[in-house]
């Protein structure tokens, strides 16, 4: 009975069907909602300042909904979609920031790439919950900002074939591992 919802990527909106045979696809439901919000923002905003204001508003509302739903996780669609929208719009704002202020110093890039790996390992070991969970969003933003310029030694390593292959395959593996 969940097949039509799964195929149309709507399963998150019907929580009783969300975690059936293709449960990892919940992320796509949240992302589709984020894409629709993004399209709406781009349609109504006439300049970058308005895009920033709307993007920050979306992040604030989505993060607040996600944080409010964290302890009890009763409303599955609110929990999952607000989580996806928060991350997506942080990325949207980060893109605008990076476009204006890209990382250009190779020495700084080397240090930041290694530091973010260490910080990421520490974050996984710590496994923050509650409000501290949002530190992971901050760290992910720093990671994306750092690696977007491809200036550091780790970026160079990630251009090697095994890492490129893994990058191409990993999302599809994630999306279908439940099946």
Is residue 177 pLDDT above 90, yes or no?
Answer: no
The percent helix, strand, coil of the chain (3-state, each to 5) is: 80, 0, 20
Q: Per the structure block, which two tokens stand in for 7?
A: 């195929």
pLDDT for 152 equals 95
Cα–Cα–Cα angle for 167, 139, 88, rounded to 5 degrees: 65
What b-and-e string marks burial along 87-123, b requiring 16 or more CB atoms within 10 Å of the CB? bbbbebbbeeebeeeebeeeeebbebbeebeebeeeb
Per-residue pLDDT, 126: 92
Average pLDDT of the chain is 90
Does the global pTM surpass 0.95? no
The predicted-structure confidence for 56-114, as pLDDT tens digits, reads as follows 999 999 999 999 998 887 787 888 899 999 999 999 999 999 999 999 999 999 999 99
Helix (H, G, I), strand (E, B) or coil at 1: coil
Distances in Å between the Cα of 175 and the Cα atoms of 44, 81, 116, 172 are 33, 17, 26, 5
For residue 78, the model assigns a pLDDT of: 86
Distance CA 155, CA 45 (A): 34
């Amino acid at each position: 009975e969940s097949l039509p919802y799964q195929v149309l990527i709507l399963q998150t909106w019907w929580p009783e069907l969300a975690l059936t045979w293709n449960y990892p696809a919940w992320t796509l439901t949240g992302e589709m909602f984020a894409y629709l919000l993004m399209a709406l923002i781009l349609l109504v905003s006439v300049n970058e300042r308005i895009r920033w204001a709307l993007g920050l508003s979306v992040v604030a509302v989505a993060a607040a909904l996600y944080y409010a739903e964290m302890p009890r996780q009763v409303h599955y669609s609110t929990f999952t979609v607000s989580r996806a929208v928060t991350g997506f719009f942080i990325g949207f704002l980060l893109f605008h920031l990076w476009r204006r202020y890209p990382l250009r110093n190779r020495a700084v890039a080397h240090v930041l790439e290694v530091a973010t790996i260490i910080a990421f390992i520490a974050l996984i070991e710590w496994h923050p919950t509650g409000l501290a969970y949002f530190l992971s969003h901050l760290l992910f933003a720093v990671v994306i900002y750092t690696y977007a310029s491809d200036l550091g030694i780790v970026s160079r390593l990630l251009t090697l074939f095994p890492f490129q292959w893994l990058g191409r395959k990993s999302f599809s593996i994630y999306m279908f591992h439940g099946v």
